[in-house]
């Protein structure tokens, strides 16, 4: 059985960069269904030979408008329904924002396993943001750099432990 991993989080935290890293060359499909799902991509992710279905809740940033929160809600709920594990991605360089807290509160109330993924952790600029991440109440953040491919082994172990 293939498990489904959903990548969630506010715009610009690096969700698509992580998606691309997990999916590599094997980008399976772009979902062109009109409406909310047009914002989303899915593909076959691979970490150290373990394969899984991965959903990127993408594209919201291009259409940032008054109904953003509503679309995020619908998209997040749909991805959540399908997910076996959810990765909530935050940007440690930017620090926590109310939207991060909004996502965290919501995911804490879901019954799905949630891993808090602290992205952009390469280099020293990350330390303060990483410490701050505990405040989201989702446990220990997993430090990664989606762009540089750091922390993938911890991410792999977290996904394994959750399924």
Binding residues: 9-16, 56-60, 119-122
CB closer to Mg ion, 16 vs 86: 16
CB closer to ligand GDP, 61 vs 101: 61
The position carrying tokens 């109310």 is: 98
Please, what's the b/e burial string for 131-157 (b: 16 or more CB within 10 A of its CB; e: otherwise)? ebbeebebeebbbbbbeeeebbeebee
Phi, psi torsion values for 46, nearest 5 degrees: -145, 125
> What CA–CA distance (Å, rounded) separates 152 from 163?
17
List 56's β-bridge partners, or say none: 7, 41
x/- track of binding to ligand GDP for residues 120-139 (CB under 6 A): x-x-----------------
Q: Which of 143, 112, 101, 145 is nearest to 9 (CA)?
A: 101
Residue 136's binding partner among ligand GDP, Mg ion, none (Cβ under 5 to 8 angstroms by kind) is none
Q: In this chain, which of 90, 119, 142, 152 binds ligand GDP, going by CB under 6 A?
A: 119
Binding-site members for GTP are 9-16, 56-60, 119-122
Under the binding rule (CB under 6 A), the answer on residue 14 touching ligand GDP is yes
Q: In this chain, which of 4, 11, 68, 73 binds ligand GDP, going by CB under 6 A?
A: 11
Q: In this chain, which of 117, 146, 152, 155 binds ligand GDP, going by CB under 6 A?
A: 146
First to last CA, the chain: 11
- The residue ranges that bind ligand GDP (CB under 6 A) are 9, 11-17, 58, 61, 119-120, 122, 145-148
């Amino acid at each position: 059985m293939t498990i489904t991993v959903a990548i969630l989080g506010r715009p610009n935290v690096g969700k698509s960069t992580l998606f691309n890293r997990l999916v590599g060359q094997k980008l399976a499909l772009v979902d062109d269904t009109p409406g909310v799902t047009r914002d989303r991509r899915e593909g076959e992710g691979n970490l150290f030979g373990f394969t899984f279905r991965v959903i990127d809740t993408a594209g919201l940033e291009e259409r940032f408008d008054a109904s953003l929160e509503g679309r995020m809600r619908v998209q997040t709920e749909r991805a959540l329904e399908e997910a076996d594990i959810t990765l909530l991605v935050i940007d440690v360089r930017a620090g926590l924002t109310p939207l991060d807290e909004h996502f965290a509160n919501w995911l804490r109330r879901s019954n799905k396993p949630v891993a808090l993924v602290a992205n952009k952790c390469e280099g020293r600029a990350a330390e303060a943001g990483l410490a701050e991440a505990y405040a989201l109440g989702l446990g220990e953040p997993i430090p990664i750099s989606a762009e540089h491919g750091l922390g993938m082994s911890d991410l792999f172990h977290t996904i394994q432990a959750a399924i």
